[in-house]
Amino acid sequence: MPIPSRRSRDYPRTSAHHLAWPRALGLITSEAAEQRHRQADYADLAARFYPSATGPDADLGVDLMTFFFLFDDLFDGPRGEDPKAARALTDAVAAALDGPLPADTPVIAHGFSDVWRRTRQGMSPAWCARAARTWRGYLASYVDEAASRHRHAPCASMAEYLAMRRHTIGAQPTVDLAERVGHYEVHQGLFDSAVIAAMLRIAIDTNLIDNDIASLEKEEARGEQNNIVLVLQREKGWSAPRCITHLQEEVRTRLEQFLMLENCLPKVYDSYGLSAAERTTADAYLNDGLRALIRGAYDWHRRSGRYSPEYAIPAGHLGYLEELGA
């Protein structure tokens, strides 16, 4: 991994206090749920994704990670195989992007509403509109995934799988938040740059490949077919070890490309006429957004309890999850 490891100096505080937000909202209501949450250590992930963030900004990063994984777990059961049920929940969550939610909305949607409210603070209407489009794509992808399972038609190729998984991995909303917690906005024109687009795609792909390898055993155990290792096995007829070796090489190649593209950035900045301040902002996005996404996921996957053999949903815990999405 050619990118240095970083973690927010505020991690000890966020690690000690990060359960207060999900408890207060009713997102975590049992001892088993608390233990599961601590074992996964989402505060560590947020501290690596947002290594320069402290105080309320670091808290927002942790709460976003909390939402992501509690929401994702809601699709491990029957809802994850029922497109109508999946859409009912994703629509309830997406409604927070348009305004206040009714009191009877699922708890998880109220959790997202709170994150979205704080995410918008201090950001321009144009940035909020861009971030909202990202969120809608993320939520819609869960319906697509449920439809795939419902049809018993898992992705047949790596290209097909990547097109869907790039949304469900949640990497784009994660990178968007780097701007919010860093209190800056990237020059909008840069997102039209082929160089920036390629670097963002590489960051997302390395994140999702690493995540799928880390979660392979857990997903196989519950019968999941849409995992990049399993998709590659079906497509190529290879063994799982060969698939993993191939994917590791894919990541290495992508990271080499990423570093080469970094060298092009000064010319990209010139082509868009960026001021000195805008160049500083773009560099912050590179270091605390894209680079942090790549290295942060790599480090967290290797130490989080979420991917250990013992990490299983305890008896009765699925019922708790259903309450969140009721």
- pLDDT, tens digit, 9 for 90 and up, residues 83-133: 999 999 999 999 999 999 999 999 999 999 999 999 999 999 999 999 999
CA distances from 211 to 104, 225, 231, 251, 307 (A): 34, 15, 14, 12, 9
- Give the catalytic positions in this structure: 68-69, 72, 76, 149, 165, 211, 215, 218-219, 222, 300-301
Domain 31-324 sits in which CATH superfamily?
A: Farnesyl Diphosphate Synthase (1.10.600.10)
**Helices marked H in the chain — which ranges?**
11-17, 20-25, 31-40, 42-49, 55-73, 83-94, 107-120, 125-150, 158-168, 171-182, 194-214, 216-221, 228-236, 240-262, 265-271, 276-285, 292-301, 317-324
Task: Quote the CA–CA distance of 113 and 124 in Å, as a whole number.
Answer: 18
- What's the token pair of residue 276? 């000195």
Say what the pLDDT of residue 120 is: 98
- pTM comes to 0.93
pLDDT, residue 315, reads 39
How sure is the predictor about 219, in pLDDT bands with cuts at 50, 70 and 90? confident
- Per-residue pLDDT, averaged over 146-166, amounts to 88
Q: Does residue 2 register a pLDDT over 50?
A: yes
Centroid of chain to Cα 140: 14
Q: Where are the domains of the chain?
A: 31-324
Give me Rg for the CA atoms of the chain.
Answer: 19
Backbone angles phi, psi at 120, to 5 degrees: -75, -20
pLDDT at 12 over 50: yes
How many of the other CB atoms lie within 10 Å of CB of 121?
11
Position 182 pLDDT exceeds 60: yes
Burial of 234 (0-12, 13-18, 19+ CB in 10 A): middle
